[in-house]
Copies of this chain bind each other. A is one copy, B any other.
Amino acid sequence: MLDDRSKKILHAVIQLYISSPGPVGSRSITKKFPIGLSPATIRNIMSDLEDMGFLRQPHTSAGRVPTDSGYRFYVDALTAEKSDNDAELASELIRKLELIRTDINSFLDNASRMLSELSHYIGISVSLNTHQTMLSRIEMLPYRKNQIAVMLITDEAVIRNKIISVEQEVSREDLNRLAGYLNERFAGHTLEDIRKTIVAEIANDRMLCDGLISEAMAICNNVFSASESDVFISGLSEVLTLPDFCDIERIRRLFRTIEDKQVILSLLEKISATDGPQVLIGSENPLDELKQFSFVAAPYCEGNRPIGAIAIIGPTRMNYGQAIYLVDMTAKFITDIFSYSR
């Protein structure tokens, strides 16, 4: 499809553009890259690459800039061959990954911060709400007046707390009976199953004293409804240093979109259906507001089931090699932790 020479030139353009934005001309390529060709020849080739849609000219008589398809081609070639291994980056990564291992409580927060610090882009980590989470135990405690603390212990890394308000006061004994009943009934089922069947089942069951039934149903509905996922975002200040973001309106829209965690969540949910690192370049992104940015994401799993994802958001002019490396390694590391501690 593309001869070797054209590929080399395309890569050269992209790498120059990544290291500093602004159209790259034929002359600067000959200077920085030892291809035995004159600027004129390179101009011809670049013209061809432009016809093929891999490069474009911001205006007549400016240098060339990669298009999204250009990046796509570059990234596809990148994942095929060995990614660049910056030794310093690697050791820094290992050091920070250890932090994640030792502080499993806030590993999501740590992971997102680490990704942003090492990549200098935005780091994101989420625990997915797959509805496939399995309940391993439920605990209920009286908390305050008319409030009950419910703890769902799932087979994920996350324990979910809920404080729910109830109409009438419920005694500790009743709570224990209710919890015991629920445990017996539902331990080992997915949260989604529980939510679906619970109303019907409980309504039919005579094991509970009738006065408690309505309360129980209310509680269960509340607890098992939308089990929220966690989303951590770090490094917003990082991208403000990039020259790409001189246009403040663009950043604003990006931030606005990212702040709506639900959006991020559903995007990453979609991405983590496939395993291994995924790259969405510019317009490949389903969300309009993110079409000017790129997304590098990978799910982490427990066993074979993805239970979360981490990601990097940056400009389309992103250091893809490094980003993919970081995301991939981190996801694998977290997956390892989960399979180890079983």
Residues of chain A from 218 to 263 with CB closer than 8 A to chain B in the complex: 228, 234-237, 240-241, 245-246, 248, 251-253, 255-256, 259
- Contact status of A163 and B153, CB under 8 A, knowing A137-B141, A141-B137, A251-B240: no
Query: Do B161 and A161 touch across chains, with their CB atoms under 8 A apart?
Result: yes
Pick the contact of A256: B153, B237, B251, B256 (CB < 8 A).
B237
Chain B: CB-nearest residue to A240: B252
Query: Do A147 and B236 touch across chains, with their CB atoms under 8 A apart?
Result: no
**Contacts of A157 on B, CB cut-off 8 Å?**
163
Query: Do B255 and A105 touch across chains, with their CB atoms under 8 A apart?
Result: no
Interface of A is mostly: mixed
Q: How many copies does the complex hold?
A: 2
Query: Do A240 and B228 touch across chains, with their CB atoms under 8 A apart?
Result: no
Chain B: CB-nearest residue to A149: B159
Query: Do A105 and B240 touch across chains, with their CB atoms under 8 A apart?
Result: no
Query: Do A342 and B149 touch across chains, with their CB atoms under 8 A apart?
Result: no
Q: How far is the CA of A245 from the CA of B139 in the complex (A)?
A: 49
Indicate whether A287 reaches chain B with its CB closer than 8 angstroms: no
Indicate whether A165 reaches chain B with its CB closer than 8 angstroms: yes
Query: Do A236 and B259 touch across chains, with their CB atoms under 8 A apart?
Result: yes
The smallest C-beta distance from A248 to any residue of chain B, in angstroms, reads 6
Q: How far is the CA of A133 from the CA of B151 in the complex (A)?
A: 20
The smallest C-beta distance from A327 to any residue of chain B, in angstroms, reads 20
The smallest C-beta distance from A234 to any residue of chain B, in angstroms, reads 7
Q: How far is the CA of A145 from the CA of B165 in the complex (A)?
A: 34
Annotate A123-166 by CB proximity to B: 1 below 8 A, 0 otherwise. 00000000000000101010111110101010001010111010
Annotate A29-65 by CB proximity to B: 1 below 8 A, 0 otherwise. 0000000000000000000000000000000000000
The smallest C-beta distance from A82 to any residue of chain B, in angstroms, reads 34
Query: Do B241 and A342 touch across chains, with their CB atoms under 8 A apart?
Result: no
Query: Do A153 and B149 touch across chains, with their CB atoms under 8 A apart?
Result: yes
Q: How far is the CA of A236 from the CA of B236 in the complex (A)?
A: 9
**Contacts of A149 on B, CB cut-off 8 Å?**
153, 159
Query: Which A residues form the contact surface with B (CB < 8 A)?
Result: 102, 104-106, 137, 139, 141, 143-147, 149, 151, 153, 157, 159, 161-163, 165, 228, 234-237, 240-241, 245-246, 248, 251-253, 255-256, 259, 341-342
What are 28 A-to-B residue pairs whose CB atoms are below 8 Å? A102-B165, A104-B147, A104-B163, A105-B161, A105-B162, A141-B153, A143-B153, A144-B341, A144-B342, A146-B341, A149-B153, A149-B159, A151-B151, A151-B159, A159-B161, A159-B163, A161-B161, A165-B341, A236-B236, A236-B255, A236-B259, A237-B253, A237-B255, A237-B259, A240-B251, A240-B252, A241-B252, A248-B248
